Structure 1
Amino acid sequence: MKKILIALTNTPTYGERNDATGLWLGEAAEFVDEVAQCCFEVDYVSPKGGYVPLDPRSMKKAYADRATFALYRSEDFQTRALARSLSPDETNPHDYAALYYTGGHGVMWDFPGSEGLARLGLSIYDQGGYLASVCHGIAGLLYLRVNGEYVVAGKNITGFTTAEERLSGKSGEIPFWNEKVAKAHRAIFHKKRPFSSYAVQDGRLITGQNPESPRAVARLLLAALLQEPRRS
């Protein structure tokens, strides 16, 4: 059975500011907890490979979520995700049924400009695989193009909203606004109440709105994968 590839950021700060960011832990951990229950194996990739920083603000929620903190403490996650994530060149897209882009503000700096991550995502999508994202992870989808056309054009998607960005207290530090770019790239952008779980599927694109949505994304992806003939 093919695995699921999880994309993580290498970016530790808000640009050149002395303000820490990185992976929002729960957006990886809650997703992994869901897919592992259905026996899907996962690998971890980042634009550069190697070290993945954690957004310190994400740890407060992690302490309160048993599954998230259990994964964080595991040697496998500490090693394969946080210390030695794969680089795009170390992965074979044919091994994966889906690529899932996690969030945390850091991805806004390194997902859009990563040619390796883009090639990997487009290869998985081209072979019939799924592209999924949550929260700021939509930054990995927004700039993907096939034959000059944005992958999200005409597609129903969601991601971290303009309202949520303002409520996060970091809107003055971000390089772009996900919701605005999505609309500029002709996506059909959906949203619900800020910081409530919400996910949208349009064909082989599955997107979640915010940090409360990784399990909703995982469940939509699992439903899609498990109703298909198993691919080896």
Structure 2
Amino acid sequence: MSESVIYNNLNFSIMKKRILFMVTSADVIGPKNRKTGSLLTELAHPYEAFKKQGYEIDIYSVKGGEAPIDLVELDDPINQAFLNDDGLIKMKNTKSIDNVSIDDYDAVFVPGGLGPVVDMTDNPPVQHLLASFYDSGKVVSAVCHGPVSLGNVKLKDGSYLVKGKHVTGFSAAEEAGYAKDDVPFELEDLLKERGADYSAVDPWQPHSITDGRLVTGQNPASAQGVAEKVIAILESAAVLESSKA
């Protein structure tokens, strides 16, 4: 879908941006089968931000079908908007990531929740998809536990995607009070082992980072910031494309 924009008194027709949400299919984790999925706040806040910007959003999951949601903070109005609009419908009817055509999208976003730790850490289709997005010059983003999907991604030159890049994700300090007994490793450690320049702020405070076309956020409070940074990149690119037309 295209739309007309005005830049420096010139009228340009540009394609509306499209965002791929890649979500977990895992609904339990750990030795006690703790219930999990994609964390609602980390779905809803970016979804509504992208939607407000006029972007088109598709949700694909690892296996396809109904994707689980960790229903926290139900009193949050943005979360309610997601559940009462088309967001929940899309989560109930996802397609498998095996069917994604990356040429259709400008950016990929991976929300957290504990689910990605289960089915995205060592998943070749997940790794291939994220590497293809990045190698194709597109934006890659993730929040909270979502960056586990990035840890083992290798680019076409053989290097880890996160190597030498400024990134964040759910910290060891946060995990200690949240799900340490449920997760098989610390996300913070994985990112550091892959050569990332990892940083974190105090537990549960917002913290999101842009490094080129890679955007990461530390925790649920960072989800909105990740979306805003992705939008900033895409809108800057749109203006640049228009100025060259």
TM-score > 0.5 by shorter chain? yes
User: Alpha-carbon deviation of 1:104?
Assistant: 0.4
Deviations 1:96-136 (A, max 9, x none): 11110100011101012222222222222121101100000
Cα distance in 1 for partners of 2:81, 2:53 equals 18
Where in structure 1 do 4 or more consecutive aligned residues deviate above 3 Å?
A: none
Please say if 1:202 is aligned against 2:211: yes
Counterpart of 2:79 in structure 1 is 68
Cα distance in 2 for partners of 1:101, 1:206 equals 10
Amino acid at match of 1:69: Q
Counterpart of 1:149 in structure 2 is 159
Aligned with residue 170 of structure 2, among 150, 155, 160: 160
Cα distance in 1 for partners of 2:158, 2:136 equals 18
Cα distance in 1 for partners of 2:165, 2:191 equals 10
Tell me the SS of whatever aligns to 2:107. strand
Tell me the SS of whatever aligns to 2:126. helix
Amino acid at match of 1:10: S
With structure 1 as the length reference, what TM-score do the two structures score?
0.92
Aligned with residue 120 of structure 2, among 81, 100, 111: 111
Amino acid at match of 1:154: G
CA contact (8 A) 1:109 1:175 kept: no
Cα distance in 2 for partners of 1:116, 1:29 equals 25
Superposition RMSD in Å: 1.6
Cα distance in 1 for partners of 2:185, 2:126 equals 19
Counterpart of 2:237 in structure 1 is 228
CA contact (8 A) 2:134 2:140 kept: yes
Cα distance in 2 for partners of 1:47, 1:19 equals 19
CA contact (8 A) 2:131 2:161 kept: no
Counterpart of 1:184 in structure 2 is 193
Please say if 1:10 is aligned against 2:20: no
Q: Greater strand percent: which structure?
A: 2
Cα distance in 1 for partners of 2:227, 2:34 equals 30
CA contact (8 A) 1:2 1:95 kept: no
Tell me the SS of whatever aligns to 1:50. coil
Please say if 1:174 is aligned against 2:183: yes
Tell me the SS of whatever aligns to 1:227. helix
CA contact (8 A) 2:30 2:181 kept: no
User: Alpha-carbon deviation of 1:184?
Assistant: 0.7
User: Alpha-carbon deviation of 1:16?
Assistant: 5.2
Cα distance in 2 for partners of 1:92, 1:194 equals 37
Aligned length in residues: 225
Structure with larger Rg: 2
CA contact (8 A) 1:34 1:215 kept: yes
Please say if 1:25 is aligned against 2:36: no
CA contact (8 A) 1:49 1:85 kept: yes
Counterpart of 1:41 in structure 2 is 56
Unaligned segments of structure 1, at least 5 residues:
none
With structure 2 as the length reference, what TM-score do the two structures score?
0.87
